[in-house]
């Protein structure tokens, strides 16, 4: 059994005041094992970024517990969490927005060392900055440049260097390549994989690009309206998905020729007014009466493969097959 | 097959400080009636500016040359007043971000109606009926209410449907869709692409789709043009070009797309970056500084196209020669990986 690094138990996050509330994350439970990459996919507003932000303590959960390496971090104050901050790092989506435009790269990279490693001498810090620049495929000459002088891919390398310079065990990557072109995207993904091998990192990889997630992740969790609807190994989710939402998502992926595209009706319902029963029932092509008022629990169907659907076996029986539905469209 | 639009030897340059910086170089392409054609390329390759020129919306600093023939008419010779007959009428365009393309202060029904009234001789009531009809056709529910809504009251998918309604209401011969789904969610993307395909089939409108989603293109388009740094480098049937790419750039592009199938192996990444506009050379192959197969000839002479199995390839080498050299792609890859030292100082830090 792999070792659990992160455990989330019934984690809920509610935004808003007295009048209107939005349940961004609704009783989410999952584990992340040491050394793995967990992919988190879903459409905008499904709560995937909120989940990521709670894991790095940028947001506090309203209920439930989050444990990192056995320690509960949910109730920690900012000061208590500071010790863990160097273990848990984040890479953001937009490398243009996450670097201070007025500071040189060298200064930006030195700052985390000044905070987390006060004991380091100036020479050590400087050596360290040079090293990390080389690790991410840049060189010392970048120390004296400003973010605006770098390309998008180079900036994202600097962001990765910023996350790694304090030697974290766990990195949340929130859409790290969605702002980049395909050929640059491939470089960054390769770099992230290589760093994972070299430094035994654990990733939570958040993305809406299913090709990218399938390539990177060992396991995938699919979120819809604040709930995890299906979770399993990459192969289970991308090839043999059982939840109708996952099936629809992955039916459009590029390399599956011959697979029928499933086109869902309607829009994602507003998270401030979620549907009763199963959150997906308004768009589901297998919806039955039971789905309207009973919310399905996330149940383990096979070891490690969980799904929140009342009728996970329907598809195999050929009844209401998504293929047939797709032909009608 | 009858062609709707034929572009020959089209070039576009930006003028700054009396110098011309070429962004598009001697591009040829053709769109047949009723077909869906894709234009693929990375940002900065000139695909959007080419599309904008087709509808007369290129930036003012741009200088154009060559020919854009649209139904016997030369688009590049049109005066601004003459454009009115084409733009939004016979040629229309869907933009990437529906929120910025709609006027936030005007009800969406009225915005679509405006396009009808400008181009057709109909009464307001007839126009209104036409608008309601097209709104229904693009799959919007409760059209009377949508007609009276402001853009901010609609979801992203609905706004893009309004854009599509606006583009199709005058029954254009050609629709240009510039990354129409990048701002939308995955399941909504599928809906919108499906809708564009449906309108293309039902109305016989030719579509030029600009996208970087190879999955969507494979599924919907019949032919594809691959653009790199202002040049078209390969074109032909989608299945051939994307399924079995020949040009070194197309090979690199297809190999660098991550997918479940490539799991466990390093992704190919084309070495280097697309040169910025002011650093581009005027002679030689545009791709030669990043190409695994480039030789001395490539640096001096811009390759002409040759036809191979029904597709056009702009390269000095034959497909066999490129295939033989493609082992170098792997070597490139390993060299890239070896760039950063295997053991860094990150661990040391923890000890300290």
Q: Do B337 and A184 touch (CB under 8 A)?
A: no
Q: Do A183 and B252 touch (CB under 8 A)?
A: yes
**Would an 8 Å CB–CB cutoff place B254 in contact with chain A?**
no
List of residues 6+ apart from A281 with CB closer than 8 A: A275, A287, A291, A292
Backbone angles phi, psi at A12, to 5 degrees: -130, 140
CA–CA separation, A68 vs A171, rounded Å?
A: 12
Q: Do B260 and A255 touch (CB under 8 A)?
A: yes
Q: What is the DSSP string of A189-246?
A: HHHHHHHHHHHT-EEEEE-S-HHHHHHH-SEEEEEETTEEEEEEEHHHHHHH--SHHH
List of residues 6+ apart from B169 with CB closer than 8 A: B112, B115, B116, B130, B131, B134
pLDDT of residue A72: 92
Of A120, A208, A239, the CB nearest to B352: A120
Q: Do A185 and B256 touch (CB under 8 A)?
A: yes
Q: Do A128 and B345 touch (CB under 8 A)?
A: yes
CA dihedral defined by A61, A66, A72, A73, rounded to 10 degrees? -50
pLDDT of residue A268: 83
Nearest in space to A115 (alpha carbons), one of A165, A74, A155, A71: A165
Share of chain A above pLDDT 90, in %: 61
Of A167, A191, A261, the CB nearest to B190: A261
pLDDT digits over B311-334, tens only? 999 999 999 999 988 888 777 666
CB A70 within 8 A of CB A126: no
> CA of B345 to nearest chain A CA: how many angstroms apart?
6
pLDDT digits over A10-25, tens only? 999 998 877 788 889 9
| Beta-carbon count within 10 A of B279 CB | 9
CB B349 within 8 A of CB A127: no
Q: Do A127 and B267 touch (CB under 8 A)?
A: no
Q: Do A181 and B43 touch (CB under 8 A)?
A: yes
pLDDT of residue A274: 87
> CA of A226 to nearest chain B CA: how many angstroms apart?
16
> CA of A97 to nearest chain B CA: how many angstroms apart?
18
pLDDT digits over B75-115, tens only? 999 999 999 899 999 999 998 887 788 999 999 999 999 99
CA–CA separation, B54 vs B5, rounded Å?
A: 9
A110, A127, A163, A254, best to mutate vs chain B, most B CBs in 10 Å: A254
> CA of A180 to nearest chain B CA: how many angstroms apart?
9
> CA of B272 to nearest chain A CA: how many angstroms apart?
9
B258, B289, B348, best to mutate vs chain A, most A CBs in 10 Å: B258
> Using a CB-CB distance cutoff of 8 angstroms, which residues of chain A are in contact with residue B342?
198
pLDDT of residue B259: 84
Q: Do B186 and A134 touch (CB under 8 A)?
A: no
- Of all residues in chain A, the one with the smallest CA distance to B347 is A167
- Of all residues in chain B, the one with the smallest CA distance to A211 is B259
Residue B211, token pair as written in the block: 């996208």
> CA of A58 to nearest chain B CA: how many angstroms apart?
24
Of B257, B336, B347, the CB nearest to A182: B257
> CA of A120 to nearest chain B CA: how many angstroms apart?
8
Residue A327 has pLDDT above 70, yes or no: no
- Of all residues in chain B, the one with the smallest CA distance to A219 is B260
Residue A329 has pLDDT above 80, yes or no: no
Residue A239 — pLDDT band, cuts 50, 70, 90?
confident
Q: Do B258 and A167 touch (CB under 8 A)?
A: no
- State the average pLDDT over residues A35-53: 91
pLDDT digits over B263-279, tens only? 888 888 888 778 888 88
pLDDT of residue B87: 92
Nearest in space to A185 (alpha carbons), one of A194, A195, A175, A199: A175
pLDDT of residue B168: 93
pLDDT of residue A319: 44
Of A134, A167, A253, the CB nearest to B349: A167
Nearest in space to B205 (alpha carbons), one of B168, B166, B163: B168
CB A41 within 8 A of CB A163: no
| Beta-carbon count within 10 A of A283 CB | 19
pLDDT of residue B351: 35
Hey, which residues 319-348 in chain B have their CB within 8 Å of chain A? 336-337, 339-348
pLDDT < 50 positions in chain B: 338-352
pLDDT of residue A307: 94
Compute CA distances A146 → A107, A162, A180, A201, whole Å: 10, 15, 19, 28
**Which residue matches tokens 């979620």?**
A274
pLDDT digits over A272-318, tens only? 888 999 999 999 988 899 999 999 999 998 888 999 999 887 655 44
pLDDT digits over A133-189, tens only? 999 999 889 999 999 998 888 999 999 999 999 999 999 999 999 888 888 899 999
Q: What value does the mean pLDDT of chain B take? A: 88
Q: Do A239 and B344 touch (CB under 8 A)?
A: no
Q: Do A254 and B186 touch (CB under 8 A)?
A: no
pLDDT digits over A240-275, tens only? 899 999 998 888 765 555 567 788 888 888 888 889
Of B216, B274, B340, the CB nearest to A134: B340
> CA of A116 to nearest chain B CA: how many angstroms apart?
10
Length of chain A: 329
> Using a CB-CB distance cutoff of 8 angstroms, which residues of chain B are in contact with residue A164?
346
pLDDT of residue A258: 59
Length of chain B: 352
CB A38 within 8 A of CB A203: yes
pLDDT of residue B329: 79
- Of all residues in chain A, the one with the smallest CA distance to B334 is A190
**Would an 8 Å CB–CB cutoff place B99 in contact with chain A?**
no
Of A44, A193, A198, the CB nearest to B342: A198
Per residue, what are the HEC states of chain B? CCEEEEEEEEEEEEEECCEEEEEEEEEEEEEECCCEEEEECCCCCCHHHHHHHHCCCCCCCEEEEEEEEECCEEHHHCCHHHHCCCECCCEEEECCCHHHHCCCCCCHHHHHHHHHHHHCCCCHHHHHHHHHHHHHHCCCCCHHHHHCCCHHHCCHHHHHHHHHHHHHCCCCCEEEEECCCCCCCHHHHHHHHHHHHHHHHHHCCEEEEECCCHHHHHHHCCEEEEEECCEEEEEEEHHHHHHCCCCHHHHHHHHCCCCHHHCCCCCCCCCCCCCCHHHCCCCCCCCHHHCCCCCHHHHHCCCCEEEECCEEEECCCCHHHHHHHCHHHHHHHHHHHHCCCCCCCHHHHHHC
List Cβ<8 Å contacts ≥24 apart for A136-144. Answer: A136/A160, A136/A161, A136/A164, A136/A191, A136/A195, A136/B340, A137/A187, A137/A191, A137/B339, A137/B340, A142/A105, A142/A106, A143/A104, A143/A105, A143/A106, A143/A109, A144/A104, A144/A105, A144/A106
A–B CB contacts, 8 A cutoff, strictly below: 155
> Using a CB-CB distance cutoff of 8 angstroms, which residues of chain B are in contact with residue A131?
344-346
DSSP state of A144: G
CA–CA separation, A83 vs B183, rounded Å?
A: 38
Of B187, B216, B337, the CB nearest to A264: B187
**Would an 8 Å CB–CB cutoff place B214 in contact with chain A?**
yes
- State the average pLDDT over residues A223-252: 91
Residue A220 has pLDDT above 60, yes or no: yes
CA–CA separation, A41 vs A275, rounded Å?
A: 21
pLDDT of residue A255: 54
Interface predicted TM-score (ipTM): 0.80
**Would an 8 Å CB–CB cutoff place B279 in contact with chain A?**
no
């Amino acid at each position: 059994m792999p070792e659990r690094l992160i455990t989330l138990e019934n984690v809920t996050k509610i935004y808003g005041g007295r009048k209107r509330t939005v349940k961004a994350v609704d009783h989410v439970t999952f584990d992340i094992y040491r050394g793995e990459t967990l992919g988190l996919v879903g459409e905008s507003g499904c709560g995937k970024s909120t989940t990521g932000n709670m894991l790095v303590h940028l947001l506090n959960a309203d209920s439930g517990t989050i444990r990192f390496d056995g320690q509960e971090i949910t109730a920690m104050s900012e000061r208590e969490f500071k010790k863990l901050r160097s273990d848990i790092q984040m890479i953001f989506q937009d490398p243009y927005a996450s670097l201070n435009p007025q500071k040189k790269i060298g200064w930006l990279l030195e700052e985390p060392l000044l905070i987390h490693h006060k004991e380091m001498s100036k020479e050590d810090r400087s050596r360290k900055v040079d090293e990390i620049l080389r690790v991410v495929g840049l060189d010392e000459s970048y120390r004296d440049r400003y973010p605006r002088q770098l390309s998008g891919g180079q900036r994202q390398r600097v962001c990765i260097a910023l996350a790694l310079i304090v030697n974290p065990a766990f990195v949340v990557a929130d859409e790290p390549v969605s702002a980049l072109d395909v050929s640059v995207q491939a470089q960054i993904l390769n770099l992230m994989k290589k760093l994972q091998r070299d430094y035994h990192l654990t990733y939570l990889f958040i993305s809406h690009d299913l090709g990218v997630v399938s390539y990177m992740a060992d396991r995938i969790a699919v979120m819809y309206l604040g709930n995890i609807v299906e979770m399993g190994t990459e192969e289970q989710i991308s090839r043999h998905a059982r939840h109708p939402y996952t099936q629809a998502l992955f039916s459009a992926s590029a390399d599956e020729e011959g697979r029928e595209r499933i086109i869902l009706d309607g829009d994602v319902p507003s998270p401030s007014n979620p549907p009763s029963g199963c959150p997906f029932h308004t768009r589901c092509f297998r919806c039955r009466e039971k789905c309207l008022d009973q919310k399905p629990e996330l149940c383990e169907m096979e070891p490690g493969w969980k799904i929140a659907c009342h009728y996970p076996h329907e598809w195999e029986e050929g009844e209401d097959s998504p293929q047939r539905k797709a032909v009608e469209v | 097959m009858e062609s709707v639009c034929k572009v020959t030897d089209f070039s576009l340059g930006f003028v700054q400080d009396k110098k011309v910086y070429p962004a598009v170089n001697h591009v040829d392409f053709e769109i047949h009636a009723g077909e869906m054609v894709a234009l693929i390329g990375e940002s900065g390759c000139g695909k959007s500016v080419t599309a904008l020129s087709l509808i007369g919306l290129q930036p003012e600093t741009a200088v154009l040359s060559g020919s854009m023939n649209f139904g016997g008419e030369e688009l590049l010779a049109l005066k601004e007043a003459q454009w009115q007959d084409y733009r939004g009428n016979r040629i229309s365009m869907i933009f990437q971000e529906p929120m910025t393309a709609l006027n936030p202060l005007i009800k969406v029904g009225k915005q679509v109606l405006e396009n009808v009234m400008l181009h057709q001789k109909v009464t307001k009531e007839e126009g209104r009926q036409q608008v309601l009809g097209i709104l229904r056709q693009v799959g919007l529910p409760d059209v009377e209410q949508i007609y009276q809504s402001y853009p901010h009251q609609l979801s992203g998918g609905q706004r893009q449907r309004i854009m599509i309604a606006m583009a199709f209401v005058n029954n254009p011969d050609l629709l240009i869709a510039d990354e129409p789904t990048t701002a939308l969610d995955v399941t909504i993307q599928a809906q919108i692409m499906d809708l564009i395909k449906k309108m293309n089939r039902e109305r016989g409108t030719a579509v030029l789709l600009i996208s970087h989603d190879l999955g969507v293109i494979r599924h919907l388009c019949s032919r594809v043009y691959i653009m790199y740094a202002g040049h078209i480098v390969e074109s032909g049937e989608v299945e051939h070009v994307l399924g079995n790419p020949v040009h070194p750039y197309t090979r690199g592009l297809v190999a660098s797309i991550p997918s479940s199938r490539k799991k466990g192996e390093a992704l190919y990444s084309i070495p280097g970056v697309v040169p910025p506009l002011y650093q581009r050379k005027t002679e030689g192959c545009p791709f030669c500084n990043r190409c695994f197969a480039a030789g001395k000839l490539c640096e001096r002479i811009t390759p002409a196209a040759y036809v191979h199995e029904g597709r056009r390839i702009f390269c000095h080498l034959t497909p066999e020669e490129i295939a033989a050299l493609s082992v170098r792609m792997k070597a490139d890859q390993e060299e890239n990986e070896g760039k950063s030292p295997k053991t860094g100082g990150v661990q040391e830090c923890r000890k300290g």
